[in-house]
Amino acid sequence: MEEKVLQNIRDAIMNGDRAAVVALTKAALEEGISLKDVMDKALIAGMEIVGGKFKRNEIFIPEVLISAKAMQEGMALLEPHFTKHGIKPVGRVLIGTVKGDLHDIGKNIVSMMLKGACFEIEDLGIDVSPQRFIDAAKAKEVDVIAMSSLLTTSMGAMKDTINALKESGIRHKVKVLVGGAPVTQDFASAIGADGYAKDAAGAVDKARELLRK
């Protein structure tokens, strides 16, 4: 039964059927299926199937966008369950997708999970230049700068941002956390980031660990 509901959500994402994704996600939560399963086995898994089809040229950008929108509407229903209100933030995180990159689904999930773990989040959005990260970090003290990249061609912007932080004299004041599908621990170490995590749950653990350092 549970698997059937999760399967239906995956299908609805593949079909880009927003109304069905919303209705089925609500139903899954009402049935008591865990938030983690709804997120990992239905919403993210549905988007992974879309990703596979996109890679094989079976579908194209407009279809991917429609599916992404449907997936994000489902994700929005989970957010209130993750976010705790009225609790003192454990740290402040500035997050953004790096320059040249417009992918934000993964970044938004990381953002949501960090909020749920009581981090205060400032989300700079997509295509964020090194200077914008620096201006925002200077405007309000932050503990962690979290950067997302989904393109091999935009990964270099993470290094540019770290170099720009050094040049502006604030590198020692912030921890840098990086992630996104093409990013690896080796890459993170090579560019001098303080931490890497492969998924949103790992991002929360890593951010907590960086605050203790």
Instruction: Name the residues that contact ligand B12, by CB under 6 A.
Output: 44, 47-48, 50-51, 54-55, 61, 64-65, 68, 100-107, 109-110, 146-148, 150-153, 177-182, 197, 199-200, 203
Residue number, 24 or 50, with CB nearest to ligand B12: 50
What DSSP letter does each residue of 66-86 carry, written as one string?
HHHHHHHHHHHHHHHHHPPPS
| d(C-alpha 66, C-alpha 68), whole Å | 5
Query: 213: which 2 tokens?
Result: 């350092």
In the complex with ligand B12, the residue whose CB is nearer, 6 or 44, is 44
Determine contact, residues 157/98, Cβ cutoff 8 Å: yes
Q: Least distance in Å: CB of 201 to ligand B12?
A: 7
Least Å distance, CB 126 to ligand B12, is 8
Cβ nearer to ligand B12, comparing 5 with 196: 196
Is residue 14 within 8 Å of residue 67, measured between CB atoms?
Answer: yes
User: Rounded distance, CA 212 to CA 135, Å?
Assistant: 25
Q: Can you tell me the distance from the alpha carbon of 193 to that of 183, in angstroms, rounded to the nearest whole number?
A: 11
CB of 181 to ligand B12, least distance (A): 4
Nearer to ligand B12, 134 or 178 (CB): 178
95 and 111 Cβ atoms separated by less than 8 Å: yes
- Closest approach, Cβ 104 to ligand B12, in A, equals 4
Nearer to ligand B12, 4 or 56 (CB): 56
CA 127 vs. chain centroid, Å, equals 14
Closest approach of Cβ 156 to ligand B12, in Å?
Answer: 12
